[in-house]
Structure 1
């Protein structure tokens, strides 16, 4: 996993956990998690095409039993296995080149029917809008940080970027921790 930072995998796995409980809920309600990362990159020589990553207790070698697992799959694997054929299918642009009939059928619907194309266009529009909003928020944050560095008052910054003074204070505290 030369190109994949283990902390990246840990980070994304933790986000799922954070959103799995409400504030004050018992930790016992945290569900078992198996987070699958399908990564489209060349792997180091000798690295298996699929890795199951679980926490263990170093002193005993036993399973930590926190009910979490990360599964890392190299999408560039070329093996003639069920998983290798699925990774092949993920790279196909045409349904007729796929091994999996179930996946090929869905690709045909999404790419070759009017309803499917309309669905995909709507989904792409949603992705675009989320990206645009995220970019705007990042811009507001960066502007607020620059204004803080220049000594502007928190209330003026809040008005300028359209956020509350409390949010500006939170951003300021986050900046200090970095």
Structure 2
């Protein structure tokens, strides 16, 4: 995984032994049981195959899929319950319940959450506006009736350089 290489390069200093690199974990908590095996956790392992033999790659990188629908009476089941729980008083883990209470019931926490949601909404709106501007510019370029400068006047969100990139893409696809 390229991400692991970047992490390794960041962690290691010149002259360090690669054995000093700590294991890395990527954990995906899925909303549903994507593997459909009714298990709480699905470890993903990488193997090297040589003929009929499979040997665990053993590079220290680990991938785990956690079934968000799992509700067993164990630590993972309780944690998945808490992750989807809307009432902090019904949560199993006090540390999560305390944070949930802060963001749902404390004045400062509610304000913080509102700000986060507002920022997310604004970011989504900006992305949608930019996508729409790019699509409009692409359609205008395909029609071939306007110069890039004229399109830039009609679609002010995009710079001339961005319009040139779109134009190159349109030319390549033609």
The corresponding residue for 1:165 is 160
Contact in 1 for aligned 2:88/2:98 (Cα 8 Å): yes
Contact in 1 for aligned 2:103/2:109 (Cα 8 Å): yes
Kindly tell me: are residues 42 and 149 of structure 1, through their superposed partners in 2, closer, same or farther at Cα, counting changes over 3 Å? same
The corresponding residue for 1:40 is 31
2:119 matches 1:126:
yes
The corresponding residue for 1:115 is 108
The corresponding residue for 1:80 is 73
Which SS does the other structure have where 1:58 is aligned? strand
> In structure 1, what is the Cα distance between the partners aligned to 2:75 and 2:31?
17
Superposition deviation, residue 106 in structure 1: 1.0
More strand by share: 2
1:52 to 36, 43, 50: 43
2:150 matches 1:156:
yes
TM-score normalised by the chain length of structure 2:
0.73
Kindly tell me: are residues 135 and 99 of structure 1, through their superposed partners in 2, closer, same or farther at Cα, counting changes over 3 Å? same
The corresponding residue for 1:29 is 9
Q: Which has the larger radius of gyration?
A: 2
The corresponding residue for 2:20 is none
Kindly tell me: are residues 28 and 80 of structure 1, through their superposed partners in 2, closer, same or farther at Cα, counting changes over 3 Å? closer
Note the residue ranges of structure 1 that are not aligned, 5 or more in a row.
1-12, 22-26
Which SS does the other structure have where 1:80 is aligned? coil
> In structure 1, what is the Cα distance between the partners aligned to 2:97 and 2:57?
39
> In structure 2, what is the Cα distance between the partners aligned to 1:69 and 1:157?
49
Number of positions where the alignment pairs a residue of Structure 1 with one of Structure 2: 156
The corresponding residue for 1:93 is 86
Q: Which range moved further: 68-77 or 46-55?
A: 46-55
Q: Which range moved further: 35-44 or 111-120?
A: 35-44
Note the residue ranges of structure 2 that are not aligned, 5 or more in a row.
12-22
2:126 matches 1:146:
no
1:62 to 56, 59, 76: 56
* RMSD (CA atoms): 3.0
